[in-house]
Structure 1
Amino acid sequence: MGTPVLILGDSGAGKSYSLRNFKPDEVILLQCIPKILPFRATGWHLHGKLLPDGTKQRGNVLRMDDWEQVQDTINRMVLSKTRQVLIIDDFQTVMQHENMMRAYQTGYGKFTEMADHIWRIIMAATQLPDGYRVYFLAHTEETEGKIRMKTTGKMLNEKLTPEGYFSIVLRAIKKDGKHVFLIKGDDNDTAKAPPDLFPGMTEIDNDLKAVDVAITEFMTEL
C-alpha cells in the first residue's frame, strides 16, 4: 500500500522549503495555491504552461485545487515511470476553496460531503502500490488547546479527524532561528511517528528528502 505522510506547520514554517533536496525527476509537486518555490528550483517546471512556440511545457509541477482532480492525480501516480513521490502543498486549501465555492449553500450536509472528499483523497494515497509516498503539507490551527491540521470548522473536525489516518505526522517549526521538523511533541501536539523510524529523536532537520529516504528504508525493513 502507499504511504501517506502529513506535514503540518504555520505559514513560513519551512514546509515548502523542505523540498529543496528533491530532484525534479523523482517528485511531482501539486500546488493548491500558485506560488514560487522558496529555493533554486533548477529543472522544476510548471506542467502545461504555454510556450512561445505554441507547445505546452512538460514538467513536474501541477496546479489545481479541485478535490476530484487531486484524487485523480494520486490515482494516476502509477503511470509515472520514475516518480513515486507526490507532494501536495497547502492541502487544507482543497477544503477551504470548496467551502468558499459553496458558501451560499445552506444546511450542514455540505460539511459532511467536504469531509468525505478529504477522506477519499487520503484513502487514494493509501491505495497506491507499495513504495509510493504522498506528502500532504498543510497549515495548523489550535482547537481546544490542541495543535492540529487546519480545517473548515468544528463540524468537519467532528466528521473527520485527518491526523488519525496518518502513521507519520511531522510539524514544521522554527526553533532558535532554524527550521526543523518536530517528531514528537507533548499531549497537545499531533506530531507522531513510529518509534523506530527516528529512534531517540524528537526533532530533525527540515529536509523532506532525508525524511523520505528514512521512510523508504524503514518500510523496506517491515
Structure 2
Amino acid sequence: MRWWDLDRVLELEEELFPEDAWSRGMFWSELAHARGRGATRHYVVAESGARLVGYAGLAVFDRTGDVQTIASARDHWGTGLGARLLTDLLTAATTFECREVLLEVRVDNARAQRLYERFGFEPIGIRRGYYQPGNVDALVMRLSDPAAPGVVTAASADTNASPETNTSTANTAASANSAATANTAASVNPATSANPATSVQGTETHG
C-alpha cells in the first residue's frame, strides 16, 4: 500500500466501516512506519483491474505481529481473498521474525473465526465491549509460530470461506502491494491490541 492508494482504500473503508472508519491521517501514520530499515508495518492492497478490492495490514512490536486490518469488497466475499491476504500477512510476519501473531475478532463472527482457526490461530481470551458501537466482545486469538510448517498457506486454505476482518481499531498501513484480497473487511480504529506491547487495535472480520 502506498500513499496514492489511499483514496481508494478510504472509499472501501468508509463503505465497510461507516461508523468507525479510519481517517486518512491514521493510514498516513501507519504508512510512515512501513518503509526503511526500521519498518514495523506491512500493508498490502488487492486489485482487480483498476479497482481496489481489498487491503490488509500487520504491525510488529518486539517480535509480536498484530493483524491490524483485513478488508475486502462485498462482491469479493467468499472468494478466498481473505485467506490470501492473511497468507501475505503471515509471510511478512515470518520475514519480521515474529514469534507469534495476535488478532481480535468479534465473538459473533463465526465465519472469520473459522478462517483463523484453519490458519492455526487459537483463542486466548476475551476483550469485553471491545467493538463499538454495539458493545460487542472481541475474541483474542494467537498463532504461536507463523513460520511453523503446519501453518496453512493460501494454496492449502479453503478459499471459499474467507471472512472480512476489522483487525484493529486503527488501520495500520504498510508498504506492499498484493493482488489478492480476502473476504475480510478489517479496518481498525485505534484501540488496544491483545499484545500489551502494542498500541494498536483489534481485529474485526466481515464477509
Instruction: Decide which structure has greater helix share.
Output: 1
Instruction: Decide which structure has greater strand share.
Output: 2
What's the TM-score bracket when you normalise by the shorter of the two chains? Answer: 0.3 to 0.5
TM-score in terms of structure 1 length: 0.31
Greater Rg, structure 1 or structure 2?
1
